[in-house]
Amino acid sequence: MKKLYRSQDNKVFAGIVGGLGEYFDFDPVFLRIVWLFLTVFTGFFPGAIVYMASVFVVPRKPSN
């Protein structure tokens, strides 16, 4: 069973978008560009609030 975690290897700030890329097996760079455009074109605050909430909700990936 797959679980969504914040990435420890592929992160810029908190690893949220890197974790999404790992979960969906998609390139995190493309997801970061999409996230940036959505955040800029929606007035910055909705994207920033969702990202900050995700930092507290999505757990860190356990180190094995």
In whole angstroms, give the CA distance from residue 5 to residue 33.
20
Tell me if 5 sits within 8 A of 64, measured CB to CB: no
- 48 token code pair: 């920033």
Q: What is the 3-state secondary structure (H, E, C) of 15-32?
A: CHHHHHHHHHCCCHHHHH
The model's pLDDT over 30-55, given as tens digits with 9 standing for 90+, comes to 999 999 898 899 888 888 898 899 99
Rounded Cα distance between 44 and 25, Å, is 27
Q: What distance in Å separates the CA atoms of residue 1 and residue 40, rounded to the nearest whole number? A: 34
pTM over the 0.85 mark: no
